[in-house]
Amino acid sequence: MSDTMRGADLSGTISVTSESSKATGFDANRIAEVKAWLTSQFDAAGKDVPDFKYTPRSINELQKIATLSQAKTQAAVIVANDHPQKAAEYRSQAATIREILESVGLAQESLPSNVVSSSHVLAKVANLLDVRDTELSSFLVAVAELSLRKTAVEEKRAKVQQESKLEDDIAPCEAQMENWKTNLAIMESKERHYLQKYGYYKAALNHVGYTPEISHGVLVEMAEHKKDLEKKTKQILDTLRSYQDLPPDKALAALAIEDKKRQYAAAEKYLEDVLQSALASSE
């Protein structure tokens, strides 16, 4: 049993080692390909390859760029190799057309100058529109394609202008949003402050035993009821006070009357003395 386990561990180790060596060899091949491509590109530009650290990420990106560059280079080579062949075909076709025109008496030397200039203009227009011949159908197709391109460009321009307008409208909206955020923050702060004050006042009212039965409206009604009671009891209180000013005994009341009479007589005598002194001084 232990021999079997050791055999399994050994085979697993060998498998991991072989996979690691394969990965290392693959990375080495990729690095070599990338280095060769970089050397070729910088040599073509007459510069040295700069030193940098080769990491798995940089190798992946450089390999993608190298693959794309090689594909474009190959396509450019194919097009460049095809140009001489097409040029030879065009020269052969031009020679054939020249012979046909000369045979029917339409050589370039025998044509009027305006016809030659018109032919040159027609050829330039054909080259500008990138058409293979000067047939009317070819020109119509080229003009239609130009119209489609023009329409696409106008649509893109309108889209860009609309996006630019939207961007211009965004700035005021952002400013307004910032103002709203500021106001909202202020309102939230005031709300917390008011809630704290409400909690404080509620606790204070509970502490003094406040109940809805002693609210402001109830207190106002009680004050009005008190005023009505005071009006009703005022006459009774006045009568009671007049009774309270009287002495409690008849003898005391007689003494009080005699005292008042003496005070009255003294006042009369004092008044007569003042009048007589005033008359004497006037004589």
pLDDT, average across residues 42-65: 83
Q: Distance of alpha carbon 22 from its chain centroid, rounded?
A: 52
Structure tokens at 11: 């085979």
- The SS3 of residue 215 is coil
Answer yes or no: is pLDDT of 70 > 60. yes
How many residues does this entry show for the chain? 283
Answer yes or no: is pLDDT of 255 > 60. yes
pLDDT per position as a tens digit, 86-127: 888 878 887 887 788 778 777 767 777 887 788 788 888 888
Q: What is the DSSP string of 84-117?
A: HHHHHHHHHHHHHHHHHHHHTT--GGGS-HHHHH
Around Cβ 34, how many Cβ atoms within 10 Å?
Answer: 19
Confidence at residue 281, expressed as pLDDT on a 0 to 100 scale: 62
Answer yes or no: is pLDDT of 246 > 80. no
Of these ranges, 48-57, 191-200, 225-234, 267-276, the one predicted with the greatest mean pLDDT is 191-200
Identify which of 131, 155, 156, 161 has the alpha carbon closest to the alpha carbon of residue 144: 131
Around Cβ 111, how many Cβ atoms within 10 Å?
Answer: 14
- Check the CA dihedral 201-202-208-212 and report its sign: positive
Structure tokens at 170: 């965004």
Q: Distance of alpha carbon 190 from its chain centroid, rounded?
A: 25
Separation of alpha carbons 75 and 77, rounded Å: 5
pLDDT, average across residues 225-236: 78
Per-domain residue ranges of the chain? 2-146, 219-282
Identify which of 127, 124, 95, 89 has the alpha carbon closest to the alpha carbon of residue 108: 95
Per-residue confidence band for 280, with pLDDT thresholds at 50, 70 and 90: low
**71 contacts: CB under 8 Å, gap ≥ 6:** none
Query: What's the predicted TM-score (pTM) here?
Result: 0.32
pLDDT, average across residues 251-256: 73
Separation of alpha carbons 33 and 69, rounded Å: 13
Pairwise pLDDT comparison (250 vs 62), residue with the higher score: 62
